[in-house]
Structure 1
Amino acid sequence: MNASPGIRITAVPPFGAADVGVLLSVDTASAEPGERAVRGLLGHGHEGEEGVHHLLPHDLAARYARAGDRLAVTLVTTRAVLVRRLAEQPDLLAEFADIPTEGGDAWLPLRRREPATDFVPADRDGEARAVLLIDHPGPVASPEALPAGFEAGESGLAVLNARW
């Protein structure tokens, strides 16, 4: 899976100046199948309090892997969830028909970024730190612009469960 300019990963202070985490962005205007699939899954969140949508861990999740100086972050879902959630988009589903699942655990990779970084998303209480996902229209000039777009109401924010 190739990375596109519309998806980025960077260490940012998502919750406060001292709390650094992983932030991915997805271009909601992209024609790339992986980003379209993520966009479709984000649209099927479970509504909580006003303006808050929750994704179930099996709907969309993130996987971390380290290889030398690279930190890979892959957005994953199950083939069953993808088929159920995107049934009205058979052309998009066809893009994923021949992609094997990862590690035999039925996780289907949708998007992957693998930057060179020494950042390690620390475990908390035995769980890997969550991945923040910002969806936005069009390319973003800089990682700093992503939180500003969210604050301006131009972007959505999702917190994805992650594991190593």
Structure 2
Amino acid sequence: MDDSARAWISAIPPFGPDDVGVLLSLDLTSRDPGERMVAVLLNRGHEGEEGVFSLLPFDLSARYERTGGRLAVSVLASRQVLVDDLAGDTDDDRAALRAHLAGLPRDAADDDRVTLLRRELVTDFVPAERDGVKQPVLLIDHPGPAPLAELLSGFERGESGIAVLNAD
């Protein structure tokens, strides 16, 4: 699936029909190292409403960027948090993730952060901002690629979760 098929501007049922925001999908079966590292960090979430997890900004965060008619959303993580979470495990999968992490460039705005995912879509949507704080990005995890309707019905059935990422 391309990026635009994995990012939506939508009202999310658990938050109400008037709360329109950015929703990104995370395929838990993906072989993409960035997606796999995000999945590792989701274990650091703190459950709020049933099935909805909030993550601390130094664990995972999001960044909005607008270029013309496109909105890009990046998911960033602390390199050190990833190093700590991936350390000590000797399986081949974790070793491959450590090797991938070592090659990721540092974020220009924060030397400790790395970009794990980046999704873009064509939209005129401008994320809301309140008191200088941008609207969070929602990340829905699920097994395999899926269209939005399937993602939301999977959440309703308890087969996926939603993580709330602070954005800048």
Q: CA deviation at 1:19?
A: 1.8
Q: Which residue of 2 aligns with 1:58?
A: 58
Label 1:70 to 1:49 Cα distance change in 2 as closer, same or farther (>3 A): closer
What CA RMSD, in Å, does the superposition of the two structures yield over aligned residues?
Answer: 2.2
Give the 3-state SS of the residue equivalent to 1:95 in structure 2: helix
CA contact (8 A) 1:5 1:139 kept: no
Q: CA–CA distance in 1 between the matches of 2:34 and 2:4?
A: 11
Structure 1 unaligned residues grouped into runs of 5+: none
Give 1:94-105 correspondences, 5 Å limit.
Answer: 94-105=99-110
Structure 2 unaligned residues grouped into runs of 5+: none
Label 1:38 to 1:137 Cα distance change in 2 as closer, same or farther (>3 A): same
Q: CA deviation at 1:144?
A: 2.0
- Residues 66-121 of structure 1: CA distance to partner in whole angstroms, max 9, x if unpaired? 11111010000011011111222221111121221121412200000111111111
State yes or no: 1:90 paired with 2:95.
yes
Larger fraction in helix: 2
- What TM-score comes out, normalization by structure 1 length? 0.88
Q: CA–CA distance in 2 between the matches of 1:50 and 1:147?
A: 14
Q: Which residue of 2 aligns with 1:127?
A: 133
Give the 3-state SS of the residue equivalent to 2:103 in structure 1: coil
Q: Which residue of 2 aligns with 1:157?
A: 162
- What TM-score comes out, normalization by structure 2 length? 0.86
Q: Which residue of 2 aligns with 1:138?
A: 144
Residues paired across the two proteins, number: 160
State yes or no: 1:42 paired with 2:28.
no
Q: CA deviation at 1:43?
A: 1.7
From 96, 102, 109, the counterpart of 2:115: 109
Label 1:49 to 1:114 Cα distance change in 2 as closer, same or farther (>3 A): closer
Label 1:24 to 1:49 Cα distance change in 2 as closer, same or farther (>3 A): closer
Q: CA deviation at 1:47?
A: 5.7
Q: CA deviation at 1:130?
A: 0.4
Q: CA deviation at 1:60?
A: 0.4
- Residues 121-157 of structure 1: CA distance to partner in whole angstroms, max 9, x if unpaired? 11122100001111000110x2122111101011011
CA contact (8 A) 1:6 1:139 kept: no
From 4, 7, 20, the counterpart of 1:9: 7
Q: CA–CA distance in 2 between the matches of 1:11 and 1:51?
A: 20
